[in-house]
Amino acid sequence: MIKKAWRAIGEWLARVPVMDPVDRRNAPFVQALLIGMGLLMPVDKVVRLCFGSFRHTTSLPVQVVNTLTDVLITVAAWACLYLVRVGRFRLAIKLYLGVMLFLAACAYAVIGLEPLSDDPLPLLLLGMSGLALGRRALWTVFAVLMVVFAIGDASDAIRQVGHGVVAWSLDQQASMAISYVVVAVVLDRTIAGLRESLVESNARGRMLQVSNERLHREMEDRARAQQLLIHAQKLETVGRVAGGVAHDFSNVLGVILGYAQRRERLADSGPEALLKALQGVEMAARRGLAITRRLLSFSRQEPTQLEVFNADEALRELLPMVCQLFEANVRVSLAVSEGPLPIRFDRSQFELVILSMAANARDAMPEGGHFQLGACPCEQRPAEAIEVTLIDSGHGVSEEVKSRMFDAFYTTKPPGSGTGLGLAVVKDLVVDAGGRIDVKSSPGRGTYFRIRLPCADVPHRELHLSA
């Protein structure tokens, strides 16, 4: 309860409409000081009056001066607090210091220097002026205090002359002046160091803000460039699929054309033969329509949208397009485990990963061979990871090529046959999804890619996939 109340008071003191960062830092302390001065003087006066000590130990002029001083200090404290609360911080400090210095001059003129030599108020004014207004205000207040002390010293001398005894010595005055000079110098050096540190801190803060804004813009530019690169990679993959799609469409059109050429014979065979022929045309047309929709959906440029789907179902739906990439001398197979294999990935980007790697496998098997897709739970951590495998029986790669195959713009293909970005994009997409990709290959023994992705059933835990 006490901590909450203290925190609420601190938040209230800090909630002032002050723009300057130094003034905003000093505002809570200054407000607390003003509140303390506004409450201390009335309480001190009430205590003194109740116990009667003030009335019996001081003369009437001194009582009057003390009473007026306390009243003016209290009024000035609350008035300056109001100015701070409305955002007039520096005006409030200047007004308060002016009132206090004026009252100090009056008090020292009436009471004298010696009775007030232990008064801590001058030190308070020095510290307040330096911390709140700076070094110039500090030395200005110091000079005014020296004048106030001179007035008090003159008052003591006049009073002694009036009593016929002059015992005026410079020892006390010199000691007091030296003490205030030392305090002023220490405050000056401390305030200078604090303000220089604050200026440097603010400068570093501004530089950090500029750097953060620049980094944010660079990240946005990189994200846009990556989206464009992914789209370009999709279009390249679609172009490579086009040969197989053309062959498939040729078969579709051949079926439709065959039924059309036999229309007279079918008409003579009766309505049942025509009905079967139209069913065959419909099936062929639906196959062509499915291929067209798949290509259009895959090649469309859309922002990244993570979704949860089963890797096995996605591979089954993608298998016809994968087959379009290969010649007839390549056997394509799919091996998936039973049960759901949920992953969190952008669906079109997942398809891009599979098709890009399948296109590389096609280039690695010009004389034909076998390409296998697979998906299963990870053996080491079946509850946390899904493993997607892509295996080809192509010519394989050396250790040197394997170490650089995921580098951007690195390719072993002849000029004009590849950009060297396919596998680099694949790795970026897999890593962004929280997974990793490994490869095993050797010359003449094919290539084995293994992609491990976090299982969508554990969304709030970081996945540490072993090699």
pLDDT at 370: 93
Comparing C-alpha atoms, which of 145, 143, 137, 120 is closest to residue 192?
Answer: 137
Using DSSP, state whether 262 is helix, strand or coil.
Answer: coil
Comparing C-alpha atoms, which of 448, 430, 425 is closest to residue 236?
Answer: 425
**Helix residue spans in 86-169 (DSSP H):** 89-111, 121-133, 135-162
Q: State the pairing for strand pair 447-454/436-441.
A: antiparallel
Give the dihedral sign, CA 331/335/340/342: negative
What backbone phi and psi angles, to 5 degrees, belong to 385?
Answer: -140, 150
pLDDT in tens, the chain (467 residues): 788 888 888 888 888 888 877 788 888 888 888 888 888 877 877 776 676 554 445 566 667 767 788 888 888 889 998 998 998 888 999 999 998 899 888 888 888 887 777 778 888 888 888 888 888 888 999 999 989 888 888 887 887 776 665 555 666 677 778 888 888 888 888 878 877 777 788 788 888 888 888 888 888 887 777 676 666 666 666 665 555 555 556 555 655 666 676 666 666 777 777 677 677 677 667 666 656 665 555 555 556 678 889 988 888 888 877 777 788 888 999 988 877 889 988 887 788 788 778 888 888 888 889 999 999 887 655 457 889 999 999 888 888 888 888 776 667 666 555 555 667 778 888 888 889 999 998 888 899 999 999 888 654 444 444 33
Name the token pair of 235: 């279009």
Who's near 17: CB < 8 A, 6+ residues apart?
A: 86, 87
For 268-314, the three-class secondary structure string (H helix, E strand, C coil) is: HHCHHHHHHHHHHHHHHHHHHHHHHHHHHHHHCCCCCCEEEEEHHHH
Q: Which residue has the tokens 């955002």?
A: 87
Residue 356 burial class via C-beta count within 10 angstroms: exposed 0-12, middle 13-18, buried 19 and up? buried
CA 52 to chain centre: 64
Query: Cα torsion at 369, 374, 379, 385 (round to 10°)?
Result: 140
pLDDT at 389: 92
pTM of the model: 0.46
> Running DSSP on this structure, what letter comes out for residue 457?
T
**Residues 458 and 377: beta-carbon distance below 8 Å:** no
Domains and CATH numbers, the chain: 2-168 (no CATH), 304-467 (3.30.565.10)
Give the C-alpha separation, 242 to 210, whole Å: 48
Concatenating the DSSP letter of every residue in 71-85 gives: HHHHHHHHHHHHHHH
Give the C-alpha separation, 37 to 14, whole Å: 19
pLDDT at 169: 60
CB atoms within 10 A of CB 311: 25
| Cα atoms in the Cβ-side hemisphere of radius 13 Å centred on 344 | 15
